[in-house]
């Protein structure tokens, strides 16, 4: 298991981050989404602001049928610039670019 450096608090995304900082943030966000639900505020491609309550906690995610690979097709590469999450209010899968995140909210019980 890969160890992620401890993030200093507050840890709010900044537009002037380097690629290394954005990658660190993306890994942290992916890890946190697997253990709790979060409210993510981000700017969509059309410029509107979206607030989404989402998660990647395995016990909350819907069962997904796995389709076998069609011959000649390669599996989809995991993105390092966006995250696919389960929207808890729409009960659907959604994704967002991590560089568009402006706020992250969560609580730890």
Asked if residue 2 is part of any domain, the answer here is: yes
DSSP characters over 4-63: -PPPPSS----TT--HHHHHHHHHHHHHHHTTS-EEEEEE-TTS-EEEEEEE--TTTSPP
Asked if residue 66 is part of any domain, the answer here is: no
The pLDDT score that the predictor gives to residue 5 is 52
pTM (2 d.p.): 0.76
Q: What is the pLDDT of residues 53-85, one digit of tens each?
A: 999 999 999 887 666 666 666 666 666 678 999
Q: What is the pLDDT of residues 3-61, one digit of tens each?
A: 445 555 445 667 778 888 888 889 999 999 999 999 999 999 999 999 999 999 999 99
Residue 9 is part of a domain; what is its CATH number? Answer: 2.30.30.520
Q: Into how many domains does the chain fold?
A: 1
Asked if residue 69 is part of any domain, the answer here is: no
The pLDDT score that the predictor gives to residue 108 is 74
The pLDDT score that the predictor gives to residue 1 is 47
Residue-number span of the structural domain to which 98 is assigned: 1-60+74-109
């Amino acid at each position: 298991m890969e160890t992620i450096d401890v993030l200093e608090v507050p840890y709010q995304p900044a537009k002037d981050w380097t690629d290394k900082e954005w990658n660190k943030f993306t890994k942290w966000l992916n890890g946190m989404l697997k253990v709790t639900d979060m409210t993510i505020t981000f700017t969509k491609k059309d410029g509107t602001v979206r607030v989404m309550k989402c998660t990647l906690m395995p016990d909350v995610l819907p069962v997904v049928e796995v389709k076998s690979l069609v011959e000649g097709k390669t599996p989809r590469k995991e993105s390092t610039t966006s995250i696919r999450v389960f929207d808890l209010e729409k009960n659907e899968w959604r994704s967002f670019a991590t560089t568009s995140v402006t706020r992250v909210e969560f609580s730890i019980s």
